[in-house]
Structure 1
């Protein structure tokens, strides 16, 4: 994930990108996060959750693991969340409801003030230590830099977000469904049926509400992504590693890297997440 705002003016979209990047960098199967507003951090971005237990989670400073991380301005981890004695357990019904046993909370600190918190979680107990904490802190720092840049950037570049935006959890489910549909369509030999599936894919992309401009690069040149490049980006957008994408699509990892590199080049993006973000803004992905 880069430290620039890359024309993204919505803080919640930046949080969603950070959550996906945290999952990719740390390999935590569950990741979620949100920004501090009105005295609490409402979780708005989720990755990998198996249930709806985390829906509605809003954390107050000094309460729970995330609240302690916010108050102390440093990462906090519970290797066995259920029995952790160093935190309050105000949010057990959310965390334990998802089945999370190991939880890492990293504050997003902007100019010395907590602006939000990112979480990485695992079902059962993980021996994590600094192996996952260090990249998680890097992701949180990058998000802080984006929020800082966003605060000082001109506000007139992007139009306001639609009033009736899709909730973060449902948007993630839509993206997962889109990626799965593309995997199914790739195995269909019937041209007519494949065309029908592609039409459904376009509807899913339009439902996300992010297709607001022709598919062009920043310099105005049209972008033509191949079906496999779109497949790879769709999986990358869900936080999958190159090895994971290769397994899902039945490709070699080297082939995945080639498709990803080609898509990044066509979209004039420096990172995989920047490519995903640009593809979503242009309506290529939901």
Structure 2
């Protein structure tokens, strides 16, 4: 059975993640893929000397990656050929590439393993915290992107089709999703990942169909953090809840709110939200 159509977009995310894995770690070889039909389908390979890994499909519980998938934790072997803690279903592919050290990191989305990223070396290479941390970071970033994509798609698919306007409930659902998305994006350090999350934010915000900015509204400019804070305030979050969501101090949240209110010429947070929506800065 072929890969679901949904995975075509996800394959692009995996390609970026594997490329980053090769760039950020000292390992000469990186590859990985997402899980579907009970197996990890390797879709991207960087640094291989041969073609033996191409098309590799790793079943759950089988091999190093299959164990990482079901155990939802990293697995590593310094000498793949002699490793006794894993099955050797994929020796033709792994040993055919000449891999000695292999490190497998699961990609987790809401606690579920959605894929596996691999780092490999043709010589035995110890893997300590310094070597492992970049791999954990890349897997975490991929998991975040997948989670956001799934949430946005879920919200979009639940919207009524063919309506000329949005109901109050649907509009509030969009605003809540937008606030959650900005909260997630605020924790992402990678600029390229953040840029793609911003594209999803724009896609979601556009669904409200509000009029484009014009007149004096076009002159209002808020910082990213000011919009983050206002987006959370717009769905009723308290300063403490906003601080926890955005990983900020409560005093910092108050400062961003005060700055946004001043720019929007609003005396309350509710008035600031309303003005920001009229200006097209919030959905």
What TM-score do you get using the length of structure 2 for normalisation?
0.52
Runs of 4+, deviation exceeding 3 Å: 154-157, 270-276
User: Could you tell me which residue of structure 1 aligns to residue 191 of structure 2?
Assistant: 271
Q: Which one has a bigger Cα radius of gyration? A: 2
Task: Report the alpha carbon displacement of residue 273 of structure 1 after superposing the two structures with TM.
Answer: 7.5
Number of paired residues? 159
3-state SS in 1 of match to 2:136: helix
User: Could you tell me which residue of structure 1 aligns to residue 105 of structure 2?
Assistant: 106
User: Could you tell me which residue of structure 2 aligns to residue 80 of structure 1?
Assistant: 79
- Kept in 2: contact 1:75–1:133 (CA 8 A): no
3-state SS in 2 of match to 1:126: coil
3-state SS in 1 of match to 2:65: helix
1:203-229 residue CA offsets vs partner (Å, 9 max, x unmatched): xxxxxxxxxxxxxxxxxxxxxxxxxxx
- Kept in 1: contact 2:145–2:193 (CA 8 A): no
User: Could you tell me which residue of structure 1 aligns to residue 22 of structure 2?
Assistant: 23
- Kept in 1: contact 2:79–2:124 (CA 8 A): yes
User: Could you tell me which residue of structure 1 aligns to residue 54 of structure 2?
Assistant: 55
Structure 1 or 2: more helix by fraction: 2
User: Could you tell me which residue of structure 1 aligns to residue 126 of structure 2?
Assistant: 127
**1:100 to 1:275, Cα distance in 2 relative to 1, 3 A:** farther
**1:131 to 1:47, Cα distance in 2 relative to 1, 3 A:** same
3-state SS in 2 of match to 1:100: coil
1:81-133 residue CA offsets vs partner (Å, 9 max, x unmatched): 11111111110110110111100000011111110000000011112222222
3-state SS in 1 of match to 2:124: coil
User: Relative contact order, CA 8 A, sep 6+: which one is greater?
Assistant: 1
Map residues 1-286 of structure 1 onto 2, 5 A cutoff.
10-154=9-153, 271=191
3-state SS in 2 of match to 1:105: strand
**1:95 to 1:108, Cα distance in 2 relative to 1, 3 A:** same
Deviates more, 1:123-132 or 1:113-122: 123-132
Alpha-carbon separation, structure 1, partners of 2:48 and 2:154: 33
Alpha-carbon separation, structure 1, partners of 2:145 and 2:46: 20
User: Could you tell me which residue of structure 2 aligns to residue 243 of structure 1?
Assistant: none
Alpha-carbon separation, structure 2, partners of 1:275 and 1:73: 28
- Kept in 1: contact 2:61–2:67 (CA 8 A): yes
Task: Report the alpha carbon displacement of residue 134 of structure 1 after superposing the two structures with TM.
Answer: 1.8
3-state SS in 2 of match to 1:10: helix
**1:73 to 1:154, Cα distance in 2 relative to 1, 3 A:** closer
- Kept in 1: contact 2:99–2:121 (CA 8 A): yes
1:210-268 residue CA offsets vs partner (Å, 9 max, x unmatched): xxxxxxxxxxxxxxxxxxxxxxxxxxxxxxxxxxxxxxxxxxxxxxxxxxxxxxxxxxx
For structure 2, which runs of at least 5 residues remain unmatched after alignment?
A: 1-7, 157-189, 197-283
3-state SS in 2 of match to 1:85: coil
**1:48 to 1:144, Cα distance in 2 relative to 1, 3 A:** same
Task: Report the alpha carbon displacement of residue 271 of structure 1 after superposing the two structures with TM.
Answer: 3.3
